[in-house]
Amino acid sequence: MTNYKFILSGGGTGGHIYPAIAIANELKAQFPDAEFLFVGAQDKMEMQKVPQAGYEIKGLWIAGLQRKLTLQNLMFPLKLATSLLESRRIIKQFKPNVVIGTGGFASGPLLQAAGGAGIPTVIQEQNSFPGITNKLLSKKANAICVAYGNLERFFPKEKIVLTGNPVRQDLIDIESKRDEAIAFYGLDPNKKTLLVLGGSLGARRVNQLIEKELHNMLSQDVQVIWQCGKLYFEEYKKHNQQNVRVVDFIERMDFVYAAADVIISRAGASSVSELCIVGKPVIFIPSPNVAEDHQTKNAQAIVDAKGAILLKESELDSQFSIVFEALLKDQGKQKQLSDNIKKLAMPNATKVIVDQIKKLL
């Protein structure tokens, strides 16, 4: 049996890292003797998260362009050139059979170097609106695995495969974990649980909203698991109390999803894909500060299928408490949202992506 080698690259946020880890895990299950190497950006969260998942990672000296003139931007050409050289060196040494990119700064130079060396590449695009790195890489990629339809505007049509986004397999059956999850967080099994997700780094506007509305929520007999993010934990940990659990980062996503009755979330691509599988009523508050406003587009795709509620940041002060209270009281609406979002789930995405990778071996 051939001893295959795979390089995976993706990072900057959990939305790029976890799909890469999920793909590696599935490849490992199918090719137990395969060798794996991850390539990320130095000083980004993948440098911790990938080794925790049991894989080796090398870091490139790369960062994205800022929107204003900064020293970082002036350094960008040097960083890019250095990262391309380092990527070529890594590929020459490791000799991968296939290179897989899930987005983020580091995947740019790495997939560029792989394509230049004649090694097959696969792009996994999570969003309904691709980033600039994947648009550029798509010209040379062998396959482009996407989670949304209508991406022919950005990618060569003949390379696109609709697969969905890889999600953690422990989310497939969360109903059976509810009691364990409630006990894990020390919650009351008779109260409704609100789960607030701001993404791995946190969301300032969502945190401000929850702080403002917390008293009102608790008065409606609701308990809260509030993931405020690493950047904001020091500021918001003071709100930890009997019916409120403030956490910076969540290791057991299956537990928080199992405990939740209603979810408030940003609309990053991975979160949206997970929430389709979890099938709980969701209020999306998309981040307006992302390229091409892709979070709003991700959320809108679910809303169009009557599977979620969308509130823009600009509407929160006037609309949130009305919308939240109405949803909490309306069991029929909760069930409708639940049923409709589940119809959009693609639980086999990781296997379908790995099938595309295997065609290139």
81: domain CATH number is: 3.40.50.2000
Gap between the Cα atoms of 290 and 297, Å rounded: 11
Q: Are 255 and 159 found together in one domain?
A: no
Quick check: 263 and 280 in contact, CB under 8 A? Answer: yes
- The region, left, alpha or beta by phi > 0 then psi within -120 to 50, assigned to residue 118 is left
**Do 244 and 201 share a structural domain?**
yes
Q: 310 and 181 share a domain?
A: yes
11 and 153 assigned to the same domain: yes
Write down the pLDDT at residue 262.
98
In which residue ranges of the chain is pLDDT below 70? Answer: 1, 63-74
Q: Is 182 annotated as a binding residue?
A: no
Task: Check whether residue 332 and residue 203 sit in a common domain.
Answer: yes
| pLDDT digit string, tens, across residues 163-214 | 999 987 788 889 899 999 999 999 999 999 999 998 777 899 999 999 999 9
Residues in the chain: 361
Q: Are 97 and 5 a contacting pair, CB within 8 Å?
A: yes
* 193 assigned to a ligand binding site: no
**One domain for residues 235 and 323:** yes
Within this chain, do residues 151 and 200 fall inside the same structural domain, yes or no?
no
| Cα–Cα distance for residue pair 304/307, rounded to 1 Å | 7
Q: 336: annotated binding-site residue?
A: no
**pLDDT per residue as tens digits for the range 69-103:** 666 666 777 777 888 889 999 999 999 999 999 98
In this structure, are 154 and 227 located in the same domain?
Answer: no
198 is annotated as contributing to ligand binding: no
Q: Consult the annotation and say whether 54 binds a ligand.
A: no
As a whole number of Å, the CA-based R_g of the chain is: 21
For the chain, the domain total comes to 2
Residues 334 and 193 in one domain: yes
**Residues 94, 24 share a domain:** yes
Q: pLDDT value at position 272?
A: 94
Q: Is 250 annotated as a binding residue?
A: yes
If asked whether residues 193 and 57 sit together in one domain, one would say no
Phi, psi torsion values for 67, nearest 5 degrees = -80, -10
Per-residue model confidence (pLDDT) at position 43: 79
295 annotated as a binding-site residue = yes
Q: What's the Cα-to-Cα distance from 259 to each of 21, 61, 192, 289, rounded to whole Å?
A: 25, 40, 9, 30
* Domain limits for position 191: 170-344
Statement to judge: residues 286 and 235 lie in one domain: yes
pTM above 0.85, yes or no: no
Query: What is the model's pLDDT at position 80?
Result: 77
**14 labelled binding-site residue:** yes
